[in-house]
Structure 1
Amino acid sequence: MTGFRASDPTENATPAGTTATGLVGGLVGARVGGRVAILVNGLPASGKSTLAPRLARALGLPLFAKDVIKETHADVLGVHPPDDRPQRAWNAALGRAASETMWALLADAPLGAVLESSWRADVRPLVQAGLAQANVARTVEIWCDVPADVSYDRDRIRWASQHRIHGARISAAEWTAMVADGRPLALGPVRRVDTTGPVDVDALTAWCRTELGWA
């Protein structure tokens, strides 16, 4: 497993809804206009990790997913702490390391990237600092919009198959606090997307290109 998933803009297949000329023009525009960040955000199990790879391929950008990075760190460093810290504290430490890794990868991505994680309002200053650290010129945000109870049920169903670094199931109190802060960061234009069913990735790609000035 690698710490990030990247799409190759030189693949033979042209992203749906985008001509080869349009894709090249978009990439050139991004290079001229500065590094971009497309944040795919939402509550846990809201459909982010399903949507983000499709959007990255359509935009011809790499994808950096925080959980993929964190799980890879855990594969190397271990699921359990090397000292007497609780597992939840170790989980949080690897989460911080994953975030810093993501910003470092973004800073090295010439055009920018699609980034996927669950960023809530309480971590907005940290995300803002990370984007500044990566010298991002323009940011747009996709909020995966599902009812909180749907997200909660999905999260409980997937828990048994999750990487063990994520630890124990989230408690009802933790979930309530998470939902209370569960809204877009609004560090740039925001598009709310209903992810309870299929998503029109072509339309979403067109919106991103327009907001980024690639259209």
Structure 2
Amino acid sequence: MTTQSKTVVLVNGVPASGKSTVTRQLSERFSLPYLTIDGIKEPFMAQFSEIDRAFNRKLGCAAYEVIWSVVRDAPPGCPFLIDAWFGFQPRETLVDYLRQAGVARVLEVWNAVSPDVAVARYAQRLGERRVGHPGEEYLPELALLAANAEPMALGPVFRLTQGSGENLNPLFAWLEDHLQD
């Protein structure tokens, strides 16, 4: 594993594309720390009884900033898995944060998901999500996102098609190869 530069693995995809599940499995397999936008913002969300979409977005932006400050302050030889829907911010914002954090290498796991699978997964967990996440009204927007979203492609990309009985062994091999470079 390279120890001279900072490496991040972006586990990217629209909401309900399977990012968190993949991130946890990668973390366990490779003993890598991970950061998630929801993991940072949800404790703050718990402190408020009413959160509209605009405030949720602000919390997401703040959590995004926290992620990159943690990466910036981490030692160079410690790769991080970053679980987020990176399309919620302009690509240039991500590029700026990567530069400020001293990230020299970006790997990306793109969780491709059909609109039907994304909508079904999101709808299934509507009652389980913290207050402040978009509700049922978000489903048509999510379907459009899933149909049109693309990876950030700032480095090598592994495309994982979600909802097709994913076998993660090819992803494990890909990441192992890239972490050894």
TM-score bracket, normalised by the shorter chain, equals: 0.7 to 0.9
1:80 is the counterpart of 2:47: no
8 A contact 2:50–2:131 mirrored in 1: no
CA deviation string 1:113-171 (max 9, x = no partner): 00001122862112112211211110011011221111111111111111112143343
2:25 pairs with 1:49 = no
Alignment match of 2:62 (pick from 90, 97, 106):
97
1:179 is matched with: 146
What amino acid sits opposite 1:62 in the alignment? P
Match of 1:145 in 2: 112
Matches within 5 A, 1:57-206: 57-76=28-47, 78-80=48-50, 87-110=52-75, 111-120=78-87, 123-171=90-138, 174-175=141-142, 177-179=144-146, 181-206=148-173
Partner Cα distance (1:66, 1:122) in 2: 12
Secondary structure in 2 aligned to 1:93?
A: helix
Does the aligned pair in 2 maintain the 1:55–1:201 contact within 8 Å? no
Q: Is the 8 A contact 1:73 1:98 kept in 2?
A: no
Aligned-pair CA distance for 1:209: 2.7
Structure 1 unpaired stretches of 5+: 1-25, 82-86
Any idea what SS the aligned residue of 1:99 has?
Answer: helix
> Residues 183-207 of structure 1, C-alpha deviation per residue, up to 9 Å, x if partnerless?
1110111110122144433431221
| Alpha-carbon spacing, 1:186–1:93, altered in 2? closer, same or farther (3 Å) | same
| TM, length-normalised to structure 2 | 0.88
Note the C-alpha offset of 1:179: 3.4
Work out whether residues 37 and 140 of structure 1, in 8 Å CA contact, stay in contact via their aligned partners in 2.
yes
Q: Secondary structure at the match of 2:81?
A: strand
TM-score (norm. length: structure 1):
0.75
Distance 1:66 1:136 in 2: 18
Distance 2:161 2:85 in 1: 16
Percent identical across equivalent pairs?
32
Aligned length: 179
The one-letter code of the counterpart of 1:131 is L
CA distance 1:170–1:126, change in 2 (3 Å): farther
Structure 2, unmatched stretches of 5+, are none
Shift of 1:93: 0.9
Bigger-Rg structure (1/2): 1
C-alpha distance after superposition, 1:54-113 (max 9, x if no partner): 10222221010111111022224x2535xxxxx111111111111111111111232130
